[in-house]
Structure 1
Amino acid sequence: MKFVLVFSAIIAGAFANEWRLHNNCPFTVWPGILGNPGKGNPEGGGFALGQGQTHTYQTAGDWAGRVWGRTNCNGGGHCETGDCGNKIQCQGAGGVPPVSLAEFTLNGAGNQDFYDVSLVDGYNLPLRITPIAGTYRKTGGGKYDCNVAGCNADLNARCPAELAMKNSGGSTIACMSACMKFNTDEYCCRGSHSTPQTCKSKDWPKDYPAIFKGACPDAYSYAYDDTSSTYTCHGNPQTGYEITFCP
């Protein structure tokens, strides 16, 4: 029986992905974690991460979901950005936009991972995804094969005034997407603009996604910004990922 238990643990570990969340910001960040339906919410969906700290956990090899950073959370669990319903452990709730997102689908089509940093829901913090050395194998896919994805720029500092979300002190704490701000079919890629062919900058009154893309060329700037934003990776045997806030 002891042998069976140990063997089972080895098998379970072999198919686990390691996650390292690192806070390089000069303040505490509260990561939020939301699994896709049926995929689970690791660490209860959130925790506090002090300046310079790293928090490590594991997920099943087919996990899919998103990770984001919340800022200025109080004792009651309410956060200035990325709030998930006034609780530190989000427990299945998503973050209120605008918020920068790290998105993952592990062991998807072709037995590979898909990952990206998305600003489609707006921006609140710089964010970087790095595959952990020794856990993956490259397959000759070029720039988007197991490489670093992210947004290193401070978009809050260059956010257009009409998109800026400010705190009570008047400081810009997040930058809304054009879809969130204006809620039009053109900016939200819906209705007659719901395909890659019809959701185009020529139909936007102002090319706000270009501002996001110019600052963060490797991140999603709008819904159909796939070709220059989606990264893939094959595990060796399972890819681990480091997510760094304020890289």
Structure 2
Amino acid sequence: MYRFLLTPRWWGINVFVLLAIPFCVFMGSWQLGRFEDRVQDHRAATEQVAAGRDEAARPLDSMLPVDKSTAGRRVTASGRYGEQLLVPGRELDGRRGFYVLTLLRTGSGKALPVVRGWLPGAADAAKAPAPPAGEVTVTGALQASEAPGDDGVSARGGLPAGQTAAISSASLVNLVPYRLYDAWVTLDKGDAGMKAVPARAPSGSGLDLKAFQNLGYTGEWFVFAGFVVFMWFRLLRREIEFQRDAALGLVPEDRAPVPSA
């Protein structure tokens, strides 16, 4: 009854099934591995940010450029505060508010964006405390430049003068008359009564949309593998039923069933 499995048509079906199942399992395992790597990156980055709060601060220039190994680490820099901007639409402890961002003009000739703290409510320059005058030394967590679409970072434009949606050299270069570091610092302690903004894990190391896309693709590939097996058994059952009917003379033997879904 199963001699039909040796026909050219079934050879093609069987070869396809034998190739498709391992391929789907391999792709599903690869996507799962990508998800697990992102989970591990997220865990390592979170632990690094937590550990960075207790380590000694290092000079800013020794920790640049910002990458996954330096993001969240404590740094120190000296200079004089200059231009001040507001970063609206930022949440802290479940409340909506804004960051107070002040440019620290360092001896290197570049300015370092420093988030001095967070205030609740709509962004209002009148609410933001003025920065200290004279030479200051700041200590805080080093952060990579933000990009629109990052967690909490708005992509909208058309903000009022004195505001920026993202803390990045690309966003600030047209707003301030300084050369800029491609990084920023959030102070350990909020300045002038403001709330300190906690350091975040670097972009791309969290459980973001891409991570859950990997998990979704994992499920899809394993479903495809199961679907291939299901369709093979369905075609096999139809062929067996046809052979049985042909043996009983219910259908001509030369009319083989056409595989279909």
Same fold (TM over 0.5): no
More helix by share: 2
Return the structure number with greater strand share. Answer: 1
Using the size of structure 2 for normalisation, the TM-score is 0.20
